[in-house]
Chains A and B, each alone.
Chain A
Amino acid sequence: SAVISQKPSRDICQRGTSLTIQCQVDSQVTMMFWYRQQPGQSLTLIATANQGSEATYESGFVIDKFPISRPNLTFSTLTVSNMSPEDSSIYLCSVEDLGNTQYFGPGTRLTVL
């Protein structure tokens, strides 16, 4: 399985600011995914990021609020823009192997004051 790292592991931010989360994979993958896990909740898919094309966003998520970059096959970033306390969550990236199994990074724990 792929080894996935995320930076930062946690952060505390002021409302109105933006935070960029990095996701690094130790092997080349076609599909990367970004999820949000609000406190005590399950995971919600934000978007799917394929290299060389724009990210595909799920209903309720927009590019202006969550811009995503995917410059190569091992790296992606998610930016949480103009943050409010409601954005306090764990943000996780994942990758999918050839057997349609997803593996997750350790997550970024974001608190917005």
Chain B
Amino acid sequence: GNSVTQMEGPVTLSEEAFLTINCTYTATGYPSLFWYVQYPGEGLQLLLKATKADDKGSNKGFEATYRKETTSFHLEKGSVQVSDSAVYFCALNRGSTLGRLYFGRGTQLTVWP
């Protein structure tokens, strides 16, 4: 089946610290992989994506590389800011016409000044 396993939270960091949020997946076929971010009181925003193995998605200083050999898509940022405090969701799409997204449980990130 298709599933996403995401690092348990919450994660608490000081400003300028390095961030890693782990995400691994199980999927049939060749999924696309996504990170979405949900700021307090808001809906989901697409943060970055990768559609095939070895692709690196990046946006706003965040990066994630699609690793087929380890079935992983870990999110990283070299220096977090207070404004990065949010819930981060890893998700996969099978790439079929059905279009269903499978989400991880979400990781709450809090960054202190």
A101 touching B46 by the CB < 8 A rule? yes
Residue of A nearest to B100 (CB): A45
A42 touching B104 by the CB < 8 A rule? yes
A45 touching B101 by the CB < 8 A rule? yes
B99 touching A100 by the CB < 8 A rule? yes
A48 touching B46 by the CB < 8 A rule? no
Shortest Cβ gap from A98 to chain B (Å): 11
Residue of B nearest to A6 (CB): B43
Shortest Cβ gap from B88 to chain A (Å): 11
A48 touching B98 by the CB < 8 A rule? yes
Residues in B whose Cβ lies below 8 Å from that of A90: 43
- Which residues in window 84-102 of B have CB below 8 A to A? 89, 93, 95, 98-101
Most buried by B among A43, A45, A92, A94: A43
B44 touching A104 by the CB < 8 A rule? yes
The A interface, classified by DSSP as helix, strand, loop or mixed, is strand
B95 touching A42 by the CB < 8 A rule? no
Residues in A whose Cβ lies below 8 Å from that of B89: 42-43
Knowing A99-B51, A100-B32, A100-B95 touch, does A107 contact B43 (C-beta < 8 A)?
yes
Residue of A nearest to B93 (CB): A100
Residue of A nearest to B89 (CB): A42
Give CA–CA (A43, B6) in the complex, Å. 13
Given contact pairs A100-B51, A102-B93, enumerate 16 new A-B contacts (beta carbons under 8 Å).
A31-B99, A33-B99, A33-B100, A42-B103, A45-B100, A48-B98, A48-B99, A100-B93, A102-B34, A102-B46, A102-B101, A104-B44, A105-B43, A106-B43, A107-B42, A107-B43
Contacts A/B (CB < 8 Å), 6 sampled: A48-B100, A90-B43, A96-B99, A101-B34, A102-B34, A106-B43
